[in-house]
Amino acid sequence: MVLTVWAATDASGIERLRTKLFDIADHAPGTVGVAFVSDRDTVTVNNGARYPMMSVFKLHQALAVADALERNGSSFDSVLNIKASSLDRETWSPMLKTVGDNDFNISIGKLVDYALTASDNNASNILFDRIVNPAQTDAFIRRIAPDTTFSIA
């Protein structure tokens, strides 16, 4: 969808913007949230809704994995043995195209790469199972960003 944004330099411009954003959100399928921040004002639409993080959590996971590796004296070059039977064949996983139906060895760095750049769910699940679980990831993010308003669970 294309939205033409005009310079909202006065209260009436901000109100026109607010009205247009609410109109778009009201007619879109699902719950749409918008935050428009300028040096003069902030306009939010459905700001109180709780939205799923979707794959955005994988960035937080990668940061927590890096922290855990550093604290444990390990590295991204550390290799894990993965059993093919432990992989979910019904989820998004470009890694499966590479490994097929075989057990395999893979570095933690390559798993993080799959999770971040290909949004691979199996890679993310392995990292949660073997390196840092969702609760540990959430706790790590809260240590570095204490005013976080989301949770990883």
Written as six digits, the tokens of 4 are 């033409």
Q: Active site residue: 38, 55, 107, 119, which one?
A: 55
- Three-state secondary-structure class, residue 80: strand
C-alpha–C-alpha distance, residues 145 and 39, integer Å? 24
55 is catalytic: yes
Residue whose C-alpha is closest to residue 80's, from 69, 92, 93, 88? 69
Residue whose C-alpha is closest to residue 58's, from 125, 129, 115? 115
- Annotated catalytic residues are 55
